[in-house]
Amino acid sequence: MTPEVLARSLTRWFQKSRRDLPWRAVDPSTGQRKPYHALVSEFMLQQTQVARVLEFFPVFLQRFPTVESLAQARDEHVLAAWAGLGYYRRARLLHAAARTIVGEFSGRIPDDPETLRQLPGVGAYTAGAMASIVFGARVPAVDGNVVRVLLRVHGRAGAADDPRSLRFVHARASELVAVARHPGVVNEGLMELGATVCTPANPRCGACPWAAGCIARRDERTRDIPRPKRSPRVTGLVLRCAVVTDARGRVLLERAPAGALWAGLWRLPTAEMTPRRLAAALGLAGVSLRRAGRARATLSHRQVELRLWRGHAANPTACRAEDRRWFDLAALRRAGVSSAHRQALAGLLDAEPKKRPRRAPGPRSRQ
DNA sequence: AACGCGTGGGG
DNA sequence: TCCCCAAGCGT
């Protein structure tokens, strides 16, 4: 099928089937989407599904309604609003981008892809998406969905992360936006098609506007295109974590240092190695620690086991240290804490309904 | 260029 | 339970 035919049928399909997502709302005063809302949504959507972002987007915007409010915010508060969404570097990069936008562009979000690309956390995809979807620029926006959809419709074999596949897809996407009436609609339509119809497994070809001309479907190769990527190896990681409370029921947390997992978020005092005397190694001299179960977290590249050690601090000030703080339960709920640590703390937070109150029995092995 | 970085839903 | 993976980016 020619680019013209593809662009036209995709546009028609998208205008009929597009989901009503909050970041797609048009600002009546400008007739376009709010650039700041689009920016926040694009950062959240990096490697993250729509359903997940829907939970966080409105809350984040309520907390930081404008790019100025985000730029002025403290890093810790931005991280707290991101807690649970994952890939926390995005929160720092979005924060930095907001500061650049306010500091260098008077709070106006750039509208051309080259300038957008200079912002922290904005790569080729996000720059293309912002420029085309918000500002109408005639540039492609190639994400994982677009790669899959275009490889399939053209019947092009290859892995999704193969540079040759990506060059091919970029060329096809460029043809589409070149002939499109609304480049942003074509780009967003491609992603929508990949997310809702041309899915990795069990594509719903019956609902696809391109089904009649799809080469992969004709050749019954949708299952083989794209070839699966080489999966990164997942390594195990064991962390010893102290769950220490004081007489008022407050729990002691520390900020995960740069370079650590969940960098910048609050975590339980943690040791990676097995120290002879855990409490002393954690700077908790005088606290008697007892084994208290474990929590597991599966990350993209890491299988983490948190071995929990419970203790009480008779003298809270003795446990103070740089980047450590006592949290009461209310503060704990508001704090920037990863889902893994939130799960580990679930026992303390039982006022809060947890989806998975997994509580493994204590292992016999020494921790 | 390959790797590090979270999370929860679905098959 | 296990495996796949989703609107990527920085280094």
Nucleotide closest to residue A194 (CA–C1') = C7
Model pLDDT, residue A366: 40
Average pLDDT, chain A: 91
What is the pTM assigned to this prediction? Answer: 0.93
Model pLDDT, residue A352: 37
Model pLDDT, residue A362: 35
Instruction: Name the residue with the least CA to C1' distance from nucleotide C10.
Output: A121
Instruction: Name the residue with the least CA to C1' distance from nucleotide B10.
Output: A201
Calculate what percentage of chain A has a pLDDT beyond 70. Answer: 95
pLDDT over threshold 80, residue A242: yes
Question: Protein A298 CA to nucleic acid B5 C1', in Å?
Answer: 12
What's the CA dihedral at A184, A189, A191, A196 to 10 degrees?
Answer: 160
* Marked catalytic residue, from A4, A42, A55, A254: A42
Model pLDDT, residue A111: 96
End-to-end Cα, chain A, rounded Å: 62
Model pLDDT, residue A355: 42
pLDDT over threshold 50, residue A281: yes
Question: Protein A85 CA to nucleic acid B7 C1', in Å?
Answer: 6
Neighbours of A294 (CB within 10 A): 20
Question: Protein A343 CA to nucleic acid C10 C1', in Å?
Answer: 29
What number is the average pLDDT over the span A4-23?
Answer: 95
Model pLDDT, residue A277: 85
The CA distance from A88 to A301, in Å, is 15
Structure tokens at A362: 């204590």
Nucleotide closest to residue A149 (CA–C1') = C7
- Per residue in A99-139, pLDDT tens? 999 999 999 999 999 999 999 999 999 999 999 999 999 99
Strand B positions within 7 A of protein Cβ atoms: 1, 3-9, 11
Half-sphere CA count of A15, side-chain side, radius 13 A: 9
pLDDT over threshold 50, residue A292: yes
What number is the average pLDDT over the span A160-177?
Answer: 93
CA distances to A45, A80, A94, A109, A335 from A75, in Å: 20, 9, 11, 20, 12
pLDDT tier for residue A93 given thresholds of 50, 70 and 90? very high
Q: How many residues appear in chain A?
A: 367
Calculate what percentage of chain A has a pLDDT beyond 90. Answer: 79
A42 counts as catalytic? yes
Model pLDDT, residue A275: 77
- Per residue in A303-320, pLDDT tens? 999 999 999 988 878 777
A47 touches strand C (CB under 7 A): yes
pLDDT over threshold 90, residue A322: no
Name the residue with higher pLDDT: A354 or A228.
A228
Q: Where are the alpha helices (DSSP H) in A74-138?
A: 75-82, 89-105, 113-117, 124-129
Residues 241-260 of A with CB under 7 A from strand B: 259-260
- Per residue in A256-266, pLDDT tens? 999 999 999 99
- Residue A192 and residue A17 in contact, taking contact as beta carbons nearer than 8 Å: yes
pLDDT over threshold 50, residue A276: yes
- Residue A333 and residue A264 in contact, taking contact as beta carbons nearer than 8 Å: no
- Per residue in A139-154, pLDDT tens? 999 999 999 999 999 9
Model pLDDT, residue A274: 79
A262 touches strand B (CB under 7 A): yes
